[in-house]
Amino acid sequence: MTKNSFLSLMVRNKLAVFGGVIVLSMFAVSWLAPFISPHDPNRPNVTARFRPPGTPEHLLGTDSLGRDVLSRMIWGSRVSLKVGFVAVGLSTFIGLILGALAGFHGGIVDALIMRFCDLMLCFPSMFLILSVIAILEPSIWNVMIVIGLTSWMGVARFVRAEFMSLKGRDFALAAKALGASDFRIIWRHLLPNAMGPVLVTATLGVAGAILTESSLSFLGLGVQPPTPTWGAILSEGKNYLTRAYWLSLYPGLAILLTVLSYNLLGEGLREALNPYNDKISS
């Protein structure tokens, strides 16, 4: 597939374009947080507790300590994106290595790696993450590492399937006949052709990592205060549903919109990278 045909397929998918615009907007907001945040997200103001949204000074209202919700939402986007990309980067790296080894070598190597993958899939991911986080000290780095170490199995399976299909193609057999090493065949010939499904899986994985981090912060086992996160704001809001609905409304909408946008973008990438398969399946 050429670059122009890929871009044209992406542009024609309106839902994918919508998801991409929201994702890019989230990037812009997170990177510009120090400049566009109207207040210090951690500075309390007891005289401005539970200010309703809509006022010029506090567009999204304030919380129980008088902190500006909009500022905390903006800074919370940084945490969500950081956790999402670092965790997915780690899981993708592990999945690429294990999937490539399993798909290329086959035999006992494939059997051992896939049985370990099946073993990891036997454990409910959220309960496994909760168990590890409960043992370790809750922090942003522990959250990112634990999510990454417990979510590589899907990438490994995709890469394994792609490698098993690609290693029998003419270009791979020709490289092997010319005396290329296994590392060169994997790195220069097979891996670039297997990156399509990996890219789609990674995009969808970011949404899952953001949702997992928000869930951990909601339970008090994620990023610890005073660092603002969407899950922590939502957790505080549950205690004031009748008095300050905005503490639950705005972070909930932010999580919903972000996860939905990454899913729409991932589905658009999948359809653009595999247009023939999608037509056959439909």
Residue 282 has pLDDT above 80, yes or no: no
Residue 256 has pLDDT above 90, yes or no: yes
pTM of the model: 0.84
- 75-92 burial, b at 16+ Cβ within 10 Å, e below that, comes to bbbbbbbbbbbbbbbbbb
Instruction: Name the fold adopted by 19-27+68-275.
Output: MetI-like fold (1.10.3720)
Question: Which of these, 139, 145, 111, 275, lies nearest to 217 by C-alpha position?
Answer: 139
Distance, in Å, from the CA atom of 134 to the CA atom of 128, rounded to the nearest integer, reads: 10
Length of the chain in terms of residues written: 282
pLDDT of res. 176: 82
Structure tokens at 272: 């653009």
pLDDT over 90 percentage in the chain: 33
pLDDT, tens digit, for every residue of 120-164? 888 887 888 888 877 877 788 888 888 898 889 989 998 998 888
pLDDT, tens digit, for every residue of 57-109? 899 999 988 999 999 999 999 988 888 899 999 999 999 999 999 988 888 99
Q: Looking at this protein, which amino acid is placed at residue 184?
A: R
**Average per-residue pLDDT for the chain:** 86
Query: H-helix or E-strand containing 15?
Result: helix 14-31
Q: Who wins on pLDDT, 166 or 278? A: 166
pLDDT of res. 70: 93
> Which range is most confident: 5-9, 207-211, 273-277?
207-211
Question: Which of these, 249, 182, 168, 259, lies nearest to 213 by C-alpha position?
Answer: 259
- Average pLDDT on 194-212 reads 87
Distance, in Å, from the CA atom of 216 to the CA atom of 69, rounded to the nearest integer, reads: 20
Structure tokens at 216: 């951990």
Structure tokens at 263: 């899913």
Phi first, then psi: what are they for 210, rounded to 5°?
A: -65, -40
Phi-psi region of 268 (alpha: psi -120 to 50; beta: other; left: phi over 0): alpha
Is residue 226 reached through a cis peptide bond, with omega within 30 degrees of 0 on the bond before it? yes
Given a contact cutoff of 8 angstroms between Cβ atoms, the answer to whether 37 and 71 are in contact is: yes
Residue 280 has pLDDT above 70, yes or no: no
CB atoms within 10 A of CB 121: 12
pLDDT of res. 172: 83
Given a contact cutoff of 8 angstroms between Cβ atoms, the answer to whether 27 and 81 are in contact is: yes
